């Protein structure tokens, strides 16, 4: 995946690249016969996870006037669609004019880049886990990613569990590992 030109790199482009590259690696490794496998997201397949990532990011960015071109065909080739989408997002948010554009956020005035990084980049990590889990892979979540997931989940409080965001947290057994405990905060059973 191309990285943004150093003259136009923005903090959100750097964060997006760091979060999307491991997701792309998982998507690229999905066998063709596993795209319809059930994911940990109730009622969703592996393909649906990719469609969700693409659709929600497109909705956010195009809703703020960002031209991402035609929507990629997730149904035909989810991995290629995700890659094409990620390249378009990266090209857009690598431009400081886009990244710094004012936007009304959940908590008040912010920028497109700040919102994308605070939620949509954050969201790439649990969805990488969802996709990996659905397709028999290891998501390879790092301690830094778990730190960010946990901090984000705790900072949003009950707003995180609003309809369409995350399911309520779930109980974990005593002695559960850190990954299981953090994922439980966002309604996932590791």
In the beta sheet, which residues pair with residue 104?
A: 109
Mean pLDDT, all residues of the chain:
89
Q: Would you state the structure tokens that stand for residue 53, as one six-digit string?
A: 């990532």
Looking at the predicted structure, is the pLDDT value of residue 106 above 90?
no
For the chain, domain boundaries: 11-135, 141-190
From the CB of residue 60, how many other CB atoms can be counted at a distance below 10 Å?
17
Assess contact for 179 and 146: CB atoms under 8 A.
yes
What is the arithmetic mean of pLDDT over 64-74? 96
The 10s digit of each residue's pLDDT in 3-58 is: 444 445 899 999 999 999 999 999 999 999 999 999 998 899 999 999 999 999 99
The 10s digit of each residue's pLDDT in 150-186 is: 888 787 767 666 666 666 666 888 888 899 988 888 8
Architecture label for domain 11-135: Up-down Bundle (1.20)
Looking at the predicted structure, is the pLDDT value of residue 132 above 90?
yes
From CA 41, how far away is CA 63, in angstroms rounded? 25
Assess contact for 128 and 26: CB atoms under 8 A.
yes
24-27, long-range: CB < 8 A, 24+ apart: 24/79, 24/82, 24/83, 24/86, 26/128, 26/131, 26/132, 26/135, 26/137, 26/139, 27/78, 27/79, 27/82, 27/83, 27/131
Q: Would you state the structure tokens that stand for residue 175, as one six-digit string?
A: 């002695």
From CA 140, how far away is CA 128, in angstroms rounded? 9
What is the arithmetic mean of pLDDT over 101-125? 87
Looking at the predicted structure, is the pLDDT value of residue 60 above 70?
yes
pLDDT band at 108 (very low <50, low <70, confident <90, very high): confident
């Amino acid at each position: 995946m191309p990285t943004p030109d150093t003259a136009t790199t923005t903090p959100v482009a750097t964060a997006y690249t760091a979060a999307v590259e491991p997701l792309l690696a998982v998507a690229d490794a999905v066998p063709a016969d596993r795209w319809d496998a059930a994911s940990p997201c109730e009622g969703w397949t592996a393909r649906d996870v990719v469609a969700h990532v693409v659709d929600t990011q497109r909705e956010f960015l195009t809703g703020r006037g960002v031209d991402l071109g035609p929507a990629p065909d997730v149904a035909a080739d989810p991995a290629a669609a995700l890659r094409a989408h990620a390249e378009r997002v990266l090209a857009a948010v690598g431009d400081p004019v886009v990244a710094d554009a004012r936007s009304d956020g959940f908590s008040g005035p912010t920028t497109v880049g700040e919102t994308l990084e605070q939620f949509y980049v954050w969201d790439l990590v649990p969805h990488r886990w969802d996709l990996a889990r659905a397709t028999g892979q290891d998501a390879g979540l790092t301690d830094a990613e778990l730190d960010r997931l946990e901090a984000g989940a705790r900072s949003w409080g009950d707003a995180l569990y609003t309809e369409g965001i995350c399911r309520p947290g779930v109980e974990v057994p005593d002695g559960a590992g850190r990954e299981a405990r953090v994922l439980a905060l966002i309604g996932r059973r590791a």
